[in-house]
Amino acid sequence: MLVYLLKAHGIKKVVASPGTTNLCFVGSLQNDSFFEVYSAADERQAAYMACGLAAESGEPVVITCTGATASRNYIPGLTEAFYRKLPVLAVTATQHIGRIGQNIAQVIDRRVIQNDIAKYSLQLPTIHDAEDEWAYGVKINEALLELRHNGGGPVHINLTTQYSRDYSVKELPPVKVIRRLTLGENFPSLQGKKVGIFVGSHKAWSEELTAAVDEFCAKYDSVVLCDHTSNYTGKYRVFFSLVANQMLYDAPVRHVDVMIDMGDVSGAYGALMPAEVWRINPDGAVRDTYRKLTKVFQMKEVDFFKQMNTEIPTGNHIELLTAWQEENARLAGKIPELPFSNVWIAQQTAAKLPQDCVLHLGILNSLRAWNFFAAPESVLNYANTGGFGIDGCLSALIGASLAHKDKLYFGVIGDLAFFYDMNALGNHHLGRNVRLMLINNGRGTEFRNFNHPAQVCFGEDADAYMAAAGHYGNQSRNLVKHYAEDLGCEYLTADSKESYLANLERFLTAEITERPMVFEVFTDSQLESDALDMIYHIEKTAKGQAKEAVRNILGTKGTATVKKLLGR
């Protein structure tokens, strides 16, 4: 994989030092006519030779040595390369890192290096399965790209060897190649391709960016695939979760030739099926969420779309948008009567949120449930998807509410998240513009969902420890009521569809009321699971049911093995 990607990235100059632990790597390079290999018996000399060669040629240079203390002699030369930003790639060789500290000859610890000898250090182990192959294919790309990134500099790869004696391979198996582009370079064309734009968690959009994306969608017949945290409000917005989460139906609209990836971590788990992914972000980082990343555009999002828009003079296409809208509407029309649950609550509430308010959603259950239903376009939405923990949902909501005290801030969180962060409700800065909905099902209902491993493997036994059921009053009807009221909040409660709808109008009042509100809604985890099951199985095709049957018989590993054998 490393040799293939060196060639793909045009890295051909090598200074090799003698040894056995790096023998497999050097033997592969010296027998490939692509590489230009030089010898240096002294590793310190090799590193400085690489500095001179890289500076004079303007190309990256590989240096490689054996185990033991050989690599320590690279330090002076790599320090020089670091401060001069020279693209020197040090490929040190190691035995299995589990041998470190076991009194095994020629094994030293290179897992931590000095701050100023490499921009990036990769521990490259032996590849054992498809997950390793994907992950380290991405990591090798990332390491090689870093040689030229942000001015360039040295990179370290600690390559594990198994001392193979098999050199029979004549043609290297392909590895996905990832490229990085910057503003001003020639962009690849998207004309004639089916293109979707996926937006993860994103700050509020500028009018300029929204206009540029809308123009792009019109010219390239694209759509913007969103969840609540995407915050795109243009006319090409599509909430994709309902379509993309169907377990027994593969909607054709999910499949695109190129998906443009914007924003940060998303809490929407729906399966989109791009053939290729382009990521746009000023950080230029490699983020292969969908395992189809081929290009990273390091630039402002608006600059990318403006440049792409110059490729096509005019256009007013809505075919893909219409297809997504029709698919969403068709599935929404087939949603059965849902049981009383977070999903049902979202169905009844999302579209009724007051204009220009802000919605904060707890991670996992609440975010998932509400992503099936769009809120008004003027509503900004956030969730703590960065670290993806339950520990600060309420605090984040209250902190946000301090920025604009004349705007309503709604929050929807589960009981474990609330009790984890409940002291935030006692903060004396709590404003009248806060409306908290607490979904109290007496446990981490996530772990009791029909498709969660804890439920599948342990059933009700998951409650004791995995789902942490029965804590914090065990759905007490008085605990939160007294706490909220004693802290000066207006308290509402519901435990049925009828009582929920009876309180909803008050909770959604568009005017800022005299007191902040806490709306505690008691649900049942079994009904939560049933509702999710119904949403995931709105559409069932014969092909989808057949695949499900195969998965049930073979299991996940067996299905993966069959796919690999069939080359799919």
pLDDT value, residue 410: 98
Is there a single domain that holds both residue 346 and residue 320?
A: no
Among residues 333, 360, 377, the one where a domain terminates is 333
Contact predicate 392/384, CB 8 Å: yes
Residues 223 and 215: their CA atoms lie apart, in Å, by 11
Sheet holding 255-262, edge to edge: 179-182, 293-298, 273-280, 255-262, 195-199, 223-226, 237-239
Q: Give a yes or no: residue 184 inside a domain.
A: no
**297-303, Cβ contacts within 8 angstroms, sequence gap of 24 or more:** 297/180, 297/181, 297/182, 297/187, 298/180, 298/181, 298/182, 299/182, 299/183, 301/209, 301/213, 301/262, 302/206, 302/208, 302/209, 302/212, 303/183
CA-CA distance, 263 to 384, in Å (whole number)? 14
Domain with residue 233: its CATH number is 3.40.50.1220
What ranges make up the beta strands (E) of 85-202?
88-94, 120-124, 155-160, 179-182, 195-199
Judge contact between 393 and 363, C-beta under 8 A. Answer: yes
Whether 542 maps to a domain, the answer reads no
Residue type, 315: G
C-beta neighbour count of 431 within 10 angstroms: 17
For residue 125, give the amino acid letter: P
- What DSSP designation does 71 have? G
Domain total of the chain: 3
Judge whether 121 and 56 are in contact, CB under 8 Å: no
Q: What is the 3-state secondary structure (H, E, C) of 303-354?
A: HHHHHHHCCCCCCCCCHHHHHHHHHHHHHHHCCCCCCCCHHHHHHHHHHHCC
Rounded distance, CA 375 to CA 353, Å? 7
Are residue 419 and residue 515 in the same domain, yes or no? yes
Domain contains 318: yes
Q: Is 508 part of a structural domain of the chain?
A: yes
Name the residue among 199, 215, 198 with its Cα closest to residue 276: 198
CA distances from 9 to 30, 130, 160, 176, 567 (A): 18, 23, 21, 11, 26
In sequence order, what are the residues at sequence separation of 6 or more whose Cβ sits closer than 8 angstroms to the Cβ of residue 111? 97, 100, 123, 158
Q: How many residues does the chain have?
A: 568
**CA separation for the pair 161, 95 (Å, rounded):** 6
Strand-pairing partners, residue 196, are 223, 259
In a domain, 132, yes or no: yes
127 in Cβ contact with 158 (< 8 Å)? no
Vertex 120, ends 118 and 125: CA angle to 5°? 115
Co-location of 95 and 153 in the same domain = yes
DSSP 8-state code for residue 92: E
CA distance 333 to 341: 19
| 397 within some domain | yes
Same-domain status, 47 and 68: yes
Dihedral sign for Cα atoms in the order 366, 371, 372, 377: positive
Residues 9 and 32 grouped into a single domain: yes
Contact status, residue 160 vs residue 125, Cβ threshold 8 Å: yes
* Whether residues 300 and 381 fall in one domain: no
User: What are the residues whose beta carbons fall under 8 Å from the beta carbon of 143, sequence distance 6 or more?
Assistant: 89, 120, 122, 155, 157
Helix, strand, coil share of the chain (percent; to 5): 40, 20, 40
Look at residue 541 in the predicted model and tell me its pLDDT: 85
Point out the domain boundary residue: 333, 356, 379: 333
Distance CA(317)–CA(296), nearest Å, equals: 26
Number of neighbours of residue 34 by Cβ within 10 angstroms = 11
Write the CA distances from 385 to 279, 360, 396, 403, integer angstroms: 18, 11, 12, 20
Same domain? 164 vs 40? yes
Nearest-CA neighbor of 488 among 442, 436, 546, 426?
426
Query: Would you call 109 helix, strand, or coil by DSSP?
Result: coil
Q: Are residues 318 and 354 in the same domain?
A: no
DSSP 219-271: HHT-EEEE-TTT---STTEEE-HHHHT-TB---GGGEEEEEEEESB-------
**Of 189, 191, 178, nearest to 221 (Cα)?**
191
Evaluate whether 400 touches 358 at the Cβ level (below 8 Å).
yes
Residues 268 and 199 in one domain: yes
- Whether 160 and 96 have beta carbons less than 8 Å apart is answered as yes
Based on the domain organization, do 93 and 170 belong to the same domain?
A: yes
Residues 169 and 215 in one domain: no
Q: Do 145 and 232 belong to one domain?
A: no
Say how far apart CA 54 and CA 233 lie, in whole Å.
48
For residue 152, give Cα distances in angstroms to 54, 87, 144, 262.
11, 6, 10, 25
SS (H, E, C) 358-395: EEEECCCHHHHHHHCCCCCCCCEEEECCCCCCCCCHHH
Sole residue written with tokens 């991405």: 138
- 557 within domain boundaries: no
Residue where a domain terminates, one of 141, 175, 209: 175
Two structure tokens written together for 52: 């001179």
pLDDT of amino acid 496:
98
pTM recorded for the entire structure: 0.92
**What is the three-class DSSP state of 65?**
strand
Domain assignment present for 293: yes
Q: What is the mean pLDDT of each run of 10 residues along the chain (568 residues)?
A: 98 97 96 97 98 98 95 97 98 93 90 95 95 97 98 97 92 96 95 96 97 98 97 96 96 97 91 96 96 98 97 93 98 97 98 98 94 96 93 96 97 96 96 98 96 96 96 96 98 98 98 98 98 96 74 62 56
Q: Tokens 């049933």 label which residue?
A: 530
CATH of the domain at 402: 3.40.50.970
Show the domain range for 489. 342-534
